[in-house]
Amino acid sequence: MPTPGDVGGGESRGAAPRLTWSRRGAAGRCRRLNEAVAVPVPRGRAGGRAGPGGGDRLRPPRAAAMRGTTGLLALGAAAGLLAGGGGRWLGRLLHRLLLLPPLRAVRARRALPVEGKAVLVTGCDKGFGHALAKQLHAKGFTVFAGCLLADKNGDGARELKNMKSDRMKVLQMNVCSDEEVAQAVDFVKATLKDPEEGLWGLVNNAGVSTFGEVEFASLDNYKEVAEINLWGTVRVTKAFLPLIRRAKGRVVNITSMLGRMASPSRSCYCVSKYGVAAFSDCLRQEMYRWGVRVILIEPSNFVAATGILTEDGIDRQAEALWSGAGDTVREDYGREYFARHVATMKSFVSSGLKDMSLVLNDISDALTSTRPNNRYNPMETC
Q: Are 163 and 301 in the same domain?
A: yes
> Domain for residue 266, yes or no?
yes
> Domain for residue 334, yes or no?
no
Reported confidence tier of residue 100, pLDDT bands at 50, 70, 90: low
> Domain for residue 338, yes or no?
no
At 163-201, the pLDDT tens digits run 999 999 999 999 999 999 999 999 999 999 998 999 999
Lowest-confidence segment of 26-40, 235-249, 304-318 by average pLDDT: 26-40
Q: Are 82 and 52 in the same domain?
A: yes
Q: Are 177 and 79 in the same domain?
A: no
**Quick one: average pLDDT of 20-43?**
39
* Alpha helices, H only, the chain: 70-84, 88-98, 103-108, 127-139, 155-161, 178-191, 219-229, 231-247, 267-287, 303-306, 311-324, 327-333, 335-346, 357-368
The model carries a pTM of 0.72
At 307-327, the pLDDT tens digits run 888 899 999 999 999 999 999
Instruction: Judge whether 348 and 309 are in contact, CB under 8 Å.
Output: yes
> Domain for residue 224, yes or no?
yes
Q: At 211, which CATH number?
A: 3.40.50.720
**Quick one: average pLDDT of 226-242?**
99
Supply the pLDDT for residue 90.
Answer: 62
> Domain for residue 235, yes or no?
yes
Q: Phi and psi dihedrals of 19, rounded to 5? A: -65, 130
Round the average pLDDT of the chain to a whole number and report it: 81
Q: Of 82, 108, 134, which residue constitutes the final position of a domain?
A: 108
252: three-class secondary structure by DSSP: strand
Q: Are 229 and 289 in the same domain?
A: yes
Q: Are 137 and 195 in the same domain?
A: yes
Find the distance separating the first CA and the last CA of the chain, reported in whole Å: 31
Q: Are 82 and 172 in the same domain?
A: no
* Burial call 349-380: b when 16+ CB within 10 Å, e when fewer: beebbeebbbbbbbbbbbbbbeebbebbbbbe
Catalytic entry in 269, 274, 337, 376: 269
80: CB partners within 8 A, 6+ apart: 16, 17, 36, 91, 95
> Domain for residue 337, yes or no?
no
Q: Are 37 and 72 in the same domain?
A: yes
Whether residue 211 has pLDDT greater than 50: yes
Question: Is there a catalytic annotation at residue 337?
Answer: no
305: three-class secondary structure by DSSP: helix
Order of strands, sheet of 201-204, starting from the edge strand that comes earlier in the sequence: 168-172, 142-147, 118-121, 201-204, 250-254, 293-297, 375-376
Whether residue 6 has pLDDT greater than 60: no
Q: How far apart are CA 120 and CA 233, in angstroms?
A: 13
Q: Are 98 and 176 in the same domain?
A: no
* Alpha helices, H only, 58-144: 70-84, 88-98, 103-108, 127-139
154: three-class secondary structure by DSSP: coil
Q: Of 69, 87, 108, which residue constitutes the final position of a domain?
A: 108
Selection from 318, 127, 335 nearest residue 210 by Cα: 318
% residues pLDDT > 70 (the chain): 71
Supply the pLDDT for residue 310.
Answer: 87
Domain that residue 183 falls in: 118-309+348-376
Q: How many domains does the chain have?
A: 2
Q: Of 108, 131, 151, which residue constitutes the final position of a domain?
A: 108
